[in-house]
Structure 1
Amino acid sequence: MPSYAVTVTTGSQFVQGTNNYIYITLVGTEGCSERTLLDKALYNDFKSGAVDSYDVMVEEDLGEILLVKIETKKYWVHDDWYCSYITVMTPSGDYLEFPCFRWLVDDKEVVLRDGRAHLPQDDQTSLVKQHRQNELDNRRKAYRWKEWQPGFPMSIDADGHKDLPRDIQFDSEKEVDFVLNYSKAMKDLYVNQFMHRFQSSWSDFADFERILEKKKTSISEYVMQHWKEDLMFGYQILNGCNPVMIQKCIKLPDKFPVTHEMVSVSLERELTLEQEIEAGNIYIVDYELLEGISPNSTDPSALQYLAPTICLLYKNTQNKILPIAIQLGQTPGADQPIFLPTDGQYDWLLAKIWVRSADFQYHQTITHLLRTHLMSEVFGVAMYRQLPAVHPVYKLLNSHVRFTMAINTSAREKLICEHGLFDKANASGGGGHVQMIQKAMKSLTFRSLCFPDMIRARGVDNKEELPTYFYRDDGYRVWEATKSFVSDVVHIYYTSDETVQEDVEIQAFIKDVCSFGMQDLDHCEFPKFLKSREELIEYLTVIVFTASAQHAAVNFGQYDWYSWIPNAPSTMRRPPPKKKGLANVNLIMESLPDCGRSSWHLGAVWALSQYQEGELYLGMYPDEHFIEKPVKAALETFRKQLAEISSSIKKRNDGKKLPYYNMSPDQIPNSVAI
Structure 2
Amino acid sequence: MPSLPQNDPDLQARQALLKQQQERYQFNFEYLAPLAMLDEVPKDENFSGAYLAERLTRAADLPVNMLAAKAHSLLDPLDRLEDYDDLFTLLPKPAIANTFQTDEVFAEQRLSGANPMAIRRLDPSNPPSAYLNIKQQLATKGKTLVERNLYYVDYSELSFIQGGTYAKGKKYLPTPFALFSWQSMGYRDHKTSDHGELLPIAIQIQQNNSGRVYTPRDAHLDWLFAKLCVQIADGNHHEMSSHLCRTHFVMEPIAVVTARQLAEDHPLYILLQPHFRFMLANNELGRKQLIQHGGPVDKLLAGTLAESLQVVKNSFESWSLDQFSFPTEVRNRGMDSPDLPHFPYRDDGQLVWDAIYKFVTDYLRLFYADSDALKNDEELQSWLKELRDPQGGRIKGVPEHIQALEPLVEMVTTIIFTCGPQHCAVNYTQYEYMALASNIPLAAYQDLTGLENGSETKPAITDEAHLMQYLPPYQQAAGQLQIMNILTDYRYDKLGYYDRTFKDAFAGSSFDTAVDAVVEQFKQNLRVVETEIDLDNRKRVIEYPYLKPSLILNSISI
For residues 506 and 468 of structure 2, what CA distance do their matches in structure 1 show?
Answer: 57
**How large is the RMSD of aligned CA atoms in angstroms?**
2.4
For residues 589 and 645 of structure 1, what CA distance do their matches in structure 2 show?
Answer: 43
Out of 582, 606, 618, the residue aligned to residue 460 of structure 2 is 582
For residues 380 and 519 of structure 1, what CA distance do their matches in structure 2 show?
Answer: 9
CA offsets per residue over residues 587-617 of structure 1, 9 Å max, x none?
A: 22011111001111001111111223xx221
Out of 408, 422, 430, the residue aligned to residue 297 of structure 2 is 422
Per-residue deviation, 1:212? 1.9
Q: Is the 8 A contact 1:191 1:211 kept in 2?
A: no
Match of 1:514 in 2: 388
Match of 1:495 in 2: 369
Per-residue deviation, 1:195? 7.8
Per-residue deviation, 1:118? 0.7
Whose RCO is larger (CA < 8 A, sep 6+)?
Answer: 2
- Structure number with bigger Rg: 1
Match of 2:190 in 1: none
For residues 154 and 640 of structure 1, what CA distance do their matches in structure 2 show?
Answer: 37
Per-residue deviation, 1:528? 3.4
Out of 91, 103, 108, the residue aligned to residue 230 of structure 1 is 103
Q: Is the 8 A contact 1:153 1:517 kept in 2?
A: no
For residues 441 and 569 of structure 1, what CA distance do their matches in structure 2 show?
Answer: 24
| SS of the residue 1:121 aligns to | helix
Match of 2:192 in 1: none
Q: Is the 8 A contact 2:130 2:177 kept in 1?
A: no
| Matched residue count | 531
Match of 1:325 in 2: 202
Q: Is the 8 A contact 2:77 2:473 kept in 1?
A: yes
Match of 1:248 in 2: 121
Instruction: Give 2:44's aligned amino acid.
Output: D
For residues 195 and 431 of structure 1, what CA distance do their matches in structure 2 show?
Answer: 33
Out of 472, 484, 494, the residue aligned to residue 358 of structure 2 is 484
For residues 288 and 261 of structure 1, what CA distance do their matches in structure 2 show?
Answer: 19
For residues 59 and 142 of structure 2, what CA distance do their matches in structure 1 show?
Answer: 46
For residues 177 and 512 of structure 1, what CA distance do their matches in structure 2 show?
Answer: 36
Per-residue deviation, 1:266? 11
- Larger relative strand fraction: 1
User: Unaligned stretches of 5+ in structure 1?
Assistant: 1-114, 159-163
For residues 530 and 30 of structure 2, what CA distance do their matches in structure 1 show?
Answer: 38
Per-residue deviation, 1:176? 7.4
Instruction: Give 1:595's aligned amino acid.
Output: Y
Indicate yes or no: 2:121 matched with 1:121.
no
TM-aligned CA distance change 1:665 to 1:517, over 3 Å = farther
| SS of the residue 2:497 aligns to | coil
Match of 2:13 in 1: 131
What are the within-5 Å matches in structure 2 for residues 144-163 of structure 1? 144-147=26-29, 149-158=31-40
For residues 496 and 347 of structure 1, what CA distance do their matches in structure 2 show?
Answer: 63
| SS of the residue 1:659 aligns to | coil
Match of 1:565 in 2: 437
Per-residue deviation, 1:517? 7.5
Q: Is the 8 A contact 2:257 2:393 kept in 1?
A: no
Indicate yes or no: 2:427 matched with 1:555.
yes
Per-residue deviation, 1:565? 1.2
TM-aligned CA distance change 1:189 to 1:657, over 3 Å = farther
Indicate yes or no: 2:396 matched with 1:396.
no
Match of 2:134 in 1: 258
Q: Name the % identity.
A: 28
Indicate yes or no: 2:532 matched with 1:651.
no
Match of 2:47 in 1: 170
Q: Is the 8 A contact 1:248 1:283 kept in 2?
A: yes
CA offsets per residue over residues 73-99 of structure 1, 9 Å max, x none?
A: xxxxxxxxxxxxxxxxxxxxxxxxxxx
Instruction: Give 1:373's aligned amino acid.
Output: H
Instruction: Give 1:503's aligned amino acid.
Output: D
Instruction: Give 2:203's aligned amino acid.
Output: I
| SS of the residue 1:197 aligns to | coil
Out of 192, 203, 211, the residue aligned to residue 87 of structure 2 is 211
Match of 2:155 in 1: 287
Instruction: Give 1:149's aligned amino acid.
Output: Y
| SS of the residue 1:305 aligns to | coil
Indicate yes or no: 2:431 matched with 1:546.
no
| SS of the residue 1:477 aligns to | helix
Match of 2:344 in 1: 470
Instruction: Give 1:478's aligned amino acid.
Output: V
Indicate yes or no: 2:401 matched with 1:529.
yes
Q: Is the 8 A contact 2:388 2:398 kept in 1?
A: yes
Q: Is the 8 A contact 1:194 1:595 kept in 2?
A: no
Indicate yes or no: 2:214 matched with 1:339.
yes
Per-residue deviation, 1:654? 4.1
Instruction: Give 1:400's aligned amino acid.
Output: H
For residues 376 and 172 of structure 1, what CA distance do their matches in structure 2 show?
Answer: 24
Match of 2:175 in 1: 308
CA offsets per residue over residues 560-598 of structure 1, 9 Å max, x none?
A: 111221111012101222224221312220111110011
For residues 398 and 183 of structure 1, what CA distance do their matches in structure 2 show?
Answer: 27
What is the TM-score of this pair, normalised by structure 1? Answer: 0.75
For residues 140 and 338 of structure 1, what CA distance do their matches in structure 2 show?
Answer: 56
Indicate yes or no: 2:454 matched with 1:454.
no
Instruction: Give 2:554's aligned amino acid.
Output: N
Per-residue deviation, 1:323? 1.0
Match of 1:632 in 2: 516
TM-aligned CA distance change 1:655 to 1:238, over 3 Å = closer
For residues 265 and 214 of structure 1, what CA distance do their matches in structure 2 show?
Answer: 49
TM-aligned CA distance change 1:332 to 1:619, over 3 Å = same
Instruction: Give 2:12's aligned amino acid.
Output: Q
Q: Is the 8 A contact 2:363 2:515 kept in 1?
A: yes
What are the within-5 Å matches in structure 2 for residues 382-393 of structure 1? 382-393=257-268
CA offsets per residue over residues 95-121 of structure 1, 9 Å max, x none?
A: xxxxxxxxxxxxxxxxxxxx3x21111
For residues 560 and 199 of structure 1, what CA distance do their matches in structure 2 show?
Answer: 25
Match of 2:472 in 1: 593
For residues 173 and 156 of structure 1, what CA distance do their matches in structure 2 show?
Answer: 24
CA offsets per residue over residues 287-306 of structure 1, 9 Å max, x none?
A: 12211123223x36321001
Q: Is the 8 A contact 1:186 1:603 kept in 2?
A: yes
Instruction: Give 1:330's aligned amino acid.
Output: Q
Indicate yes or no: 2:484 matched with 1:602.
no
- Larger relative helix fraction: 2
What are the within-5 Å matches in structure 2 for residues 43-62 of structure 1? none
Per-residue deviation, 1:197? 2.2
TM-aligned CA distance change 1:659 to 1:476, over 3 Å = same
Instruction: Give 1:468's aligned amino acid.
Output: H
Match of 1:505 in 2: 379
Instruction: Give 1:120's aligned amino acid.
Output: P
